[in-house]
Chains A and B, each alone.
Chain A
């Protein structure tokens, strides 16, 4: 519920803060419609399209309508995948409009008590604090390793959860131990001649829950000839906050990251998660009205995705091979639509001997993960995922490669839902590339990563 008082406050702030030029820049041609997953999956409902959402935002600014539940619903239903942006001839920056609108609503609306507590824990207590994330991850590790998990599964306690959440439990990676998480490298030397000096943005979840992906990334950077610096004072990128209507927190995190990286004298700041990378690359927008604007610009200019730097350093021209298999690639929306990286991952995959690359139809359409969207909007998310899996199955791929942890988990969830566990696996591109590097003898045995095997369904 949004009370009348809240509505008035939201409307007033829409009028004060929404970028009117950007709203007017939408000339309503509808070129965005065929690319919007929620428009398609909702059975072509204009209110679930970018054009419709912009019209609603503008109507609130114009005073034509009040920001009622239906308006909020329309904005909430958006994945934020930003597929509408590259196809927009007028160049409307829809993502920025959405972020601003969500921030205004979140800051003026009084959520139910439980939601408030959860938001506070997640946004303030957990994600900005890497030590707490490590602790949480250790607890998950304890759950996974101590036999507690087996017990929970035996007792059928997971059945108490909604189906998709129960499956989530299932697809979480085998997490690292407390000790492993606290023993992270600060600097790494290149294998062979040094070609670049780069900093590595480790991310919050990536350096705990998905630590193996980070390890693989750093290993690849070394192999490609990079000296790697990993500043330990970096923090969560703030994407979760930015997309969730907590812009103020996001700005704080951005500033801490800029401070952590700006003195390092590196060629690039490397990311391996499309979601984080896209947020980092837009720090200049986030801090545009701030004293930090210039520093943010300098930071944003250096952001580069791992696949791009690997292609730049001709890593795809080294001999890479894997066991014969069919491979397909699911774009990370933010990597593709915001960082504009679509070719590099494909080039890399196509360069691997033994990997038969097959493009899946609509690979550029969102998988429905979208941050925490699959938890808060499970129905739409699963509908989108089912479409995705239909396309993935068409390719007959046994390996689905992604470039973002959220997408990776979602693809794993899709594999579980389709009952394909054991036959099809989902991997992050860096893990697949490392697998190829090991297979072709680029790495010594002792340096081999701990490959996560496809876990059998119980």
Chain B
């Protein structure tokens, strides 16, 4: 399961060259120093890098990449290591690049409504900085307090506000990227319109570090909405909650947030957050709407009616503090589920919004079929659910069943017109399943892009494209 360190990829000469670039204080190849960059938030993936390097600027990144390219040393760019697809686990060793020095907000442009940042900026710091100026950066992954913008861009992160505002991809306007050959390119610009050639910006967003190293980004901002309201709808029937989601959207209302939590998830979250979440209901929807006061009032009233038609009880948050506590609690759901068992396996199969009730039903049936416990929460409004299985990696028999259950969930998602991953990425974890979604020709086309930009395969190798056909989610041997 856990790979030991790889053979010596970095010779003494190469090491000295790298130190020459960044200084010895920014080059670490001690055992402990490498160990703490051998993982991310994905269970069961760990692999030691050969060195950890902290470049201070784009030039240093380019110089490092040139050396690595020459010597075929893998490079894994890493933000705060919160991703959930083993995207930053150095599965083939090599160099982990960290961006602790490249963490500045370079400019907030109030005329063009953009912000330009270095990759190491913490997402929440960026959000706060622009909000001080009455501007809004909507993508808010649950890990935003910890995650970096560079990580968000590479993983194309979503978040709670994705339903109305979209995901990271929808806010990236321009990038500075160091390519595998060490060349630095700039894509896009502060432009509302730009059709000059291929849309490289979009190509790099969500590329998981497999095509180049992002060293700077210009992001789109929008005006901060005037008001916001938050509501909890409580259900005694899981599928009624899921039906409400589709109904709300069918009624032509797009709430900011439309989150789903089932009873087991509510229990653990309440156990952690202690904010008085109901634990005696089968499911809740956390619903938010923002915008001009009248619109918010009208939408929330209509949403409440729709939920009540599905037998829900509705509670409106009385203050921003209460609303924030609810959002924070929701963001902790995954980690809180880790309370239940030593190992927590999480997925993010996604279906069209209209199919959400069917998906919830299927997940429960599959869990029963394989005798595994599956707790479900997620961005219901996006059709993006996170069925999560608390288990124990030491229980081989159960792990096999978990594996089969998740395989079936993937198959079901695709059958419903969905995808294997909505926002967590492919990484090393879902690489074996990518072909299910893309087909053989699709994979070949993607590989051709990879080959063109990174012919030596040094950019985060082992991610997105599976080495073997053997499929696995959780069981490795």
Interface centre among A25, A26, A46, A51 (most CB of B within 10 A): A46
Partner among B32, B122, B335, B393 whose Cβ is within 8 Å of the Cβ of A29: B335
For A28, the closest partner residue in chain B by CB is B41
Shortest Cβ distance from residue B57 to the other chain A in the assembled complex, whole angstroms = 16
Does A441 count as interface, using CB distance less than 8 angstroms? no
**Pick from B36, B40, B333: contact of A56, CB under 8 Å:** B36
In the bound complex, what is the Cα–Cα distance between A88 and B337 (angstroms)?
11
Binds B, one of A66-74, A327-335, A386-394, A445-453: A66-74
Given A28-B41, A28-B81, A59-B35, do A70 and B30 touch, yes or no (CB 8 Å)? Answer: yes
Q: Are A33 and B100 in contact (CB under 8 A)?
A: no
B342 within 8 A of A: yes
Roughly how many angstroms separate A29 CA and B30 CA in the complex, as a whole number? Answer: 24
Q: Is A156 in contact with chain B by the CB < 8 A criterion?
A: no
**A55 close to chain B: CB less than 8 A:** yes
B171 at the interface (CB under 8 A from A): no
A7-24 residues with Cβ-Cβ distance < 8 A to B are 21, 24
For the A-B complex, the count of residue pairs with Cβ-Cβ distances under 8 Å equals: 99
User: Is residue A34 contacting chain B, with contact meaning CB distance below 8 A?
Assistant: yes
A55/B35 contact (C-beta < 8 A), A21-B342, A28-B40 known: yes
- Cβ-defined contact, B100 with A64, below 8 A: no
The reply to whether B335 and A31 form a contact with Cβ atoms under 8 Å apart is yes
* Residue A208, interface by CB 8 Å: no
| CB-defined contacts of B39 to chain A, threshold 8 Å | 28, 55
Indicate which residue in B4, B32, B40, B344 contacts A47 across the interface (CB closer than 8 Å): B32
Residues 296-324 of chain B: 1 if any A CB is under 8 Å from the residue's CB, otherwise 0? 00000000000000000000000000000
Q: Contacts A25-B342, A28-B40, A31-B332: A65 and B35 contacting too (C-beta < 8 A)?
A: yes
Residues of B within 8 A of A26 (CB): 338
- Across-interface contacts of A185 in B (CB, < 8 A): none
The answer to whether B33 and A30 have CB atoms under 8 Å apart is no
Q: A57-81 CB contact bits vs B (8 Å, 1 = yes)?
A: 0010010111010110110000000
> B157 contacts the other chain (Cβ, under 8 Å)?
no
Tell me, yes or no, whether B339 is within 8 Å of chain A by CB. yes
Decide: A47 and B33 in contact? CB cutoff 8 A: yes
Is there an interface contact between A31 and B145, defined as CB atoms closer than 8 Å? yes
CB contact under 8 A between A89 and B31, given known A33-B146, A47-B36: no
Q: How far apart sit A178 and B356, CA to CA, in the bound complex (Å)?
A: 76
Question: With an 8 A cutoff between CB atoms, is B58 at the interface?
Answer: no
Say yes or no: A70-B31 contact (C-beta < 8 A), given A56-B36, A91-B339.
yes
A49 to B272, CA, bound (A): 21
Chain A residues with CB under 8 Å of B343's CB are: 24
Interface string of B71-82 (1 = CB under 8 A from A): 000000000111
- Tell me the dominant secondary structure on chain B's binding face: loop
Judging by beta carbons under 8 Å apart, are B43 and A34 in contact?
Answer: no
Measured CB to CB, the closest approach of chain B to A33, in angstroms, equals 5
Rounded to whole angstroms, the CA-CA distance of A66 and B335 in the bound complex is 29
Interface contact B81-A30, CB-CB below 8 Å: yes
Tell me which residues across on chain B come within 8 A of A56, comparing CB atoms.
32, 35-36
Contacts of B81 in A (CB 8 A): 28, 30, 46
Q: By the criterion CB–CB under 8 Å, are A30 and B339 in contact?
A: no
Instruction: Return chain A residues, CB-CB under 8 Å to B339.
Output: 25, 89-91
Q: Is there contact, CB below 8 Å, between A31 and B146?
A: yes
- The reply to whether A43 and B4 contact each other, CB–CB distance below 8 Å, is no
Contact among B31, B32, B48, B100 for A44, CB-based, below 8 A: B100
Closest A residue by C-beta to B80: A30
Which residues 279-296 of B have a CB within 8 angstroms of A? none
Counting chain A residues whose Cβ lies within 8 A of the other chain, the interface size class is 35 or more
The chain A residue sitting closest to B30, CB to CB, is A70
Whether B37 sits at the interface, judged by CB under 8 Å, is yes
The residue that B41 contacts in the complex, of A24, A30, A45, A46, with Cβ under 8 A, is A30
Task: Give the chain B neighbours of A298 by CB distance below 8 A.
Answer: none
- Residue numbers in A under 8 Å from B145 (CB-CB): 31, 34
Contact across chains for B146 and A34 when beta carbons are under 8 A apart? yes
What's the minimum C-beta distance from A425 to chain B, rounded to whole angstroms? Answer: 33
The answer for the CA separation of A108 and B100 in the assembled complex, in Å, is 36
Complex: A46 Cα to B40 Cα, angstroms = 11
Asked whether any CB of chain B lies closer than 8 Å to the CB of A52, the reply is: yes
Q: Give Cα A31–Cα B272 distance, bound, in whole angstroms.
A: 13
Contact A46:B335 (CB < 8 A) given known A27-B344, A30-B82, A89-B272: no
Q: Say yes or no for B364: interface residue by CB 8 A criterion.
A: no
User: By the criterion CB–CB under 8 Å, are A70 and B342 in contact?
Assistant: no
| B332 and A89 form a contact (CB under 8 A) | yes
Closest to B37 in A: A46
Distance in Å: Cβ of A51 to nearest Cβ of chain B:
8
User: Nearest Cβ in chain A — how far from B331, in angstroms?
Assistant: 9
- Kindly state the separation between the CA atoms of A66 and B332 in the bound complex, as whole angstroms: 33
Contacts of A59 in B (CB 8 A): 35, 38
B336 within 8 A of A: yes
Bound-state Cα–Cα, A24 to B390, Å: 12
Residues in B whose Cβ lies below 8 Å from that of A64: 2, 4, 35, 46, 48
By the criterion CB–CB under 8 Å, are B344 and A65 in contact?
A: no
**CB-CB under 8 A for A91 and B272, given A24-B343, A29-B143, A56-B36:** yes
**Cα(A62)–Cα(B44), bound, Å:** 13
Q: Known contacts A33-B146, A34-B146, A70-B30: does B336 contact A46 (CB below 8 Å)? A: no
Residue of B nearest to A23 (CB): B342
Q: Which of B180-223 contact A (CB under 8 A)?
A: none
Q: For the complex, is B334 an interface residue (Cβ under 8 Å from A)?
A: yes
- Contact in complex: B338, A89 (CB < 8 Å): yes
- Minimum distance in angstroms from B147 CB to a CB of chain A: 8
Q: Which residues of B contact A46 (CB under 8 A)?
A: 36-37, 81
- CB 8 Å contact bits of A66-106 with B (1 = contact, 0 = none): 10101101100000000000001111000000000000000
Q: Are B35 and A90 in contact (CB under 8 A)?
A: no
Q: Which 4 A-B pairs have the closest CB atoms?
A: A89-B335, A70-B32, A90-B338, A24-B342
- Other A-B contacts than A27-B335, A31-B335, A56-B35, 13 sampled, CB-CB below 8 A, are A21-B342, A25-B338, A29-B146, A29-B335, A30-B41, A44-B100, A45-B100, A47-B33, A49-B36, A62-B2, A64-B2, A68-B32, A89-B269
**Contact sample, A vs B, 27 pairs, CB 8 Å cutoff:** A24-B342, A27-B334, A27-B344, A28-B40, A29-B146, A30-B41, A30-B81, A30-B143, A31-B332, A31-B335, A33-B80, A34-B145, A45-B100, A46-B37, A47-B32, A47-B33, A55-B36, A55-B39, A64-B48, A65-B32, A68-B31, A70-B31, A89-B332, A89-B333, A90-B336, A90-B339, A91-B272
A residues near B (Cβ < 8 Å) are 21, 24-31, 33-34, 43-47, 49, 51-52, 55-56, 59, 62, 64-66, 68, 70-71, 73-74, 88-91
